[in-house]
Structure 1
Amino acid sequence: MTNKAGNETERMTITRIFDAPRELVWKAWTDPKYVMQWWGPKGFTAPVCKMDFRVGGKSLCCMQSPDGQEFWNGVEYHEIVPLEKIVSTMYFADSEGNKVGAEDYGIEHEAIDGACDVTLFEDLGDGRTKLTFIGNEPMESAKNSGQIEGWNQILDKVAAVVAELAQA
């Protein structure tokens, strides 16, 4: 991937190992009733999550800050390989799912032109799963903007959901 200046850019990549089978991690990541439990960083809630999880489908989720501010995100799905891979484009949206700019939420966001988000699910054996999230933001920008910290907090919440599913 190249950035606006035409230079090679390292994409934001976050990896997490879950002590759970891949099917449970996939379920937590793709079922809206579970996504609502983890969407957004620590302290945020997700009062709305509508998912049309299929190639060409779209999702719309709201994350709400502790002070009540709503941030809406849309997702368009481009490729889905069950239990292995999701290729999608995430964007800032209004409550109807219409694309808006990050600046509408007072957020600085530097996306890599033409880059999609990629989520990979790898069965490590022994009931463990490796999830790799590759975002469309440059790694350096993601570090500076708090995206890395936010995604790590989100993955902490995903781990809690997966642990509950594993006990069920």
Structure 2
Amino acid sequence: MTPFTVSRVFKAPLALVWAVQTDPAHMAKWLSPGNPAGFISRMDFRVGGQHFYGMPGPDGATMYGIQTYRQIEPLKKIVLVQSFADSEGNVAPHPMAPDFPKAMLSTTEYQDMGDGTTRLSVTWTPVDPTPEEAATFDNARAGMTGGWDHMFRQIEAYLATL
């Protein structure tokens, strides 16, 4: 199974892109731009720490996730294991795709392009997927690309306000 990778160059300096990705106050404004007050976040940003979050969706339902940090290199890289969660922070199936992998190794890399822009690259690899989860992951690439494109556009719009 091939990992899934996306990247985008943002018109913002590295330190700002890093802050927007690691500070819950910033994250609420681009992850939940229509309802930042509804964004739930409990973050312990350190190796071994966790980030539990909830994002209200357009239908009013909240989608929860949990991340466990494995590696943090400030302004360079964040490696974490990411899963969907229930409202208590327990790992749960994807709310719309129960055969999606239960855990993803997520590597986010930050690169200063030297001209006031920053490249952000994200790679997802399923952790110990069942054959069904691996197939669902492989078949979901177009949806993941679209989802990340939407998220990157939200980050760009938020960065433009800073």
The TM-score range, normalised by the shorter chain, is 0.7 to 0.9
**What percentage of aligned pairs have identical amino acids?**
34
- Three-state SS of the structure 2 residue aligned to 1:20 is coil
Q: 1:112 to 1:47 in 2, by over 3 A?
A: closer
What is the CA-CA distance between 1:61 and the residue it aligns to?
Answer: 1.1
Using a 3 Å threshold, how does the CA distance of structure 1 residues 112 and 91 change in structure 2: closer, same or farther? closer
Query: What TM-score, normalized to structure 2?
Result: 0.83
User: 2:110 — aligned with what?
Assistant: 121
Root mean square deviation, CA, Å: 2.3
Distance 1:30 1:62 in 2: 15
1:49-94 residue CA offsets vs partner (Å, 9 max, x unmatched): 2211111110111122111111100010000000000000110111
Aligned residues: 152
Structure 2 unaligned residues grouped into runs of 5+: 127-133
Q: CA contact under 8 A between 2:93 and 2:102: conserved in structure 1?
A: no
The corresponding residue for 1:142 is: 140
When residues 110 and 101 of structure 1 are mapped into structure 2, their CA distance, relative to the original with a 3 A threshold, is closer
In the alignment, which residue of structure 2 is the partner of 1:156?
A: 153
1:19-58 matched pairs, under 5 angstroms: 19-39=11-31, 47-58=39-50
Q: CA deviation at 1:110?
A: 3.5
> How big is the shift at 1:158?
1.1
Runs of 4 or more, structure 1, over 3 Å off, are 42-46, 108-113, 137-140
